[in-house]
Amino acid sequence: MEPRTPWWANAVVYQIYPRSFADSTGDGIGDIGGIIEHLDHLQDLGIDVLWLSPIHQSPQFDNGYDISDYRRVDELFGTNEQLDELLEGLHGRGIKLIMDLVVNHTSSEYPAFLESRSSRSSPRRDSYWWRDPRPGFTAGEPGAEPNNWGSMFGGSAWTFDQRTRQYYLHLFTPQQPDLNWEVSRVRERVYEMMNWWLDKGVDGFRMDVINFISKDPALPDGVSEAGGVWGDGSPHYVNGPRIHEFLQEMHHRVFSEREGEYLTVGETPGATVEQARLYTDRRRHELDMVFQFEHVSLDQGPGGKFDYKGLELADLKTSWNRWQRGLAETGWNSLYLSNHDQPRIVSRFGDEEEYRYESATLWATLLHLQRGTPYVYQGEEIGMPSAGFTSIGQYRDVESLNHYAEALRLGMDQEAVLESLRRMSRDNARTPMQWTSGPHAGFSTVEPWIPLGKGFPETSVEADRAAEKSVFRYYQRLIRLRHESELVSLGDFHMLDPAHPTLFAFKRTRGDQALLVLGNVSGAELGVPANLESGDLVLGNYITPGDHRLLRPWEARILDVSIYPGG
């Protein structure tokens, strides 16, 4: 029997990157106290779930995604008691809390890794991936790494340990060694920790790169591109051989006997529609929904994320349609355009200068009217643009800094490298939340840990909520529409005019109800095809009524076409 419709089918999630949200202590770093001070902002927006990026104790080599104590809040962000206060404040407002679960890897300062590293005979040696040098090589010499896998952040995915004369695997930085999920003891420790958080009142987890946890134990070499030093190991760890077994075991150990409403979200880079269907088929008891990356990779060239080539709208329509149709009967998708790793959408795919409000609300419309669970990233609800940094000294992100150093080492033009960072750096999403037009944007009373973005002082919560054209108020209406309409949350999706270079049009249907969504993804006026002109306006991002035969620059319309022919 098909399970009943889950509570999260009409929910909206808001993501907070804590160090950039609000500083309550005057040290320039956002914290839990700052979040507590702004809970009314979240309640006013109307969201159902708060996703909190890592706040655990961490050396902060990768901004908290290197955890050294999974049960303690890092003092940068506050205390465990403050987290309890945050939970109480959220639950009192009808908002759930999900936390980041980072268990593909730990910090190199995590006690289990320190013990594992202490000796080859350590009982925890097998908790991580330790290997001898490649046969025929001397430990520590170039090329002696156990395989040729490259790290996500540049260089080898292996680091040599002088004390024990072996290498350990880290798909990210050397300070983030990968856990060996083949060892049942490792898995049980993870499940024990997850249960501990749920017992404290947390409502679920967003699971960081969760489809990396199962690796081919043989750790074979990956394919190297011509001229490249490091190979692509992803075929041997992305959606690995035991991933479904591990996730089903996790569900059984952590969630199967719990009463209540929980949420499990899997970040799954490289997952296809078919794989996502397996992850999120509710009868398989693995994940509730996935984060996939296909649509946010379409403006990247063959050189990867910093090889910007621009977006072809037809490609995005193809991708979104594939995922909408592919998960229509089984499975569920997370709907997002922004998060802590992506450039701001109004800068990336919109017009941050002349049509910031219009393009911000257009993209919100196209996203929130799809089937799936929408995510709002802090600042997205006021149309914050990307950072606009002009020098390398402004950047803080380890991925960006490593790319800059490596690109210059290879002889690339400095200005070209900075331009690629301006477009695609993760720091574009990590500038401080702009609350007011006052000093430090109301984020802090002192200089923030990272410079303010170029949208300051024009763009702020204070200014937007007082403006006639308010991105925030538009998001409120979109969220309310999803809450009130099963057509929006559960209806079928039908892409229209897929090849049009600037018109984004689709229809949602459920029974005898139908909505038509139109968007002009350009700064020029656009004629509406005659067969799409009819309908009663439900919501639009222009304040004044327009000609139904014409879409103004970056205009979005949601039309009720239930009673119209073909509706």
Tens of pLDDT, residues 371-429: 999 999 999 999 999 999 999 999 999 999 999 999 999 999 999 999 999 999 999 99
What kind and span of H or E run contains 319? Answer: helix 313-326
Query: Mind telling me the catalytic residues?
Result: 208, 267
* pLDDT > 90? residue 225: no
pLDDT at 4: 82
Torsion of CA 35, 41, 43, 47, to 10 degrees: -80
Helix (H, G, I), strand (E, B) or coil at 559: strand
Q: Which two tokens stand for residue 192?
A: 């024990």
Look up tokens 């702020």; give the residue: 460
Instruction: State residue 563's pLDDT score.
Output: 86
| Alpha carbons 363 and 312: distance in angstroms, whole number | 15
Interatomic CA distance for residues 387 and 448, integer angstroms: 14
| pLDDT tens readout for residues 54-105 | 999 999 999 899 999 999 999 999 999 999 999 999 999 999 999 999 999 9
**Residue 416: enclosing H or E segment and its boundaries?**
helix 414-424
- The CA–CA distances, whole Å, from 253 to 6, 244, 246, 285 equal 21, 14, 10, 11
Whether pLDDT at 224 is above 80: yes
* pLDDT bucket at 567, cuts 50 / 70 / 90: low
Please say if the pLDDT value at position 2 is more than 60.
no
Compute φ and ψ for 301, nearest 5 degrees. -85, -175
Query: Residue range 190-202: average pLDDT?
Result: 98
pLDDT band at 126 (very low <50, low <70, confident <90, very high): very high
Q: Beta partners for 52? A: 16, 99
**Is the alpha carbon torsion for 299, 214, 55, 11 positive or negative?**
positive
Specify the amino acid at residue 289. Answer: M
pTM for this entry:
0.95
H/E stretch holding 407: helix 398-409
pLDDT at 1 > cutoff 50:
no
Q: pLDDT > 90: what percent of the chain?
A: 96
CB atoms within 10 A of CB 51: 25
Give CA torsion, residues 202, 204, 208, 209, to 10 deg: 160
- The stretch 480-493 carries a mean pLDDT of 97
> pLDDT by residue (tens digit) across 319-337?
999 999 999 999 999 999 9
Reply yes or no on whether the pLDDT at 195 is more than 90: yes
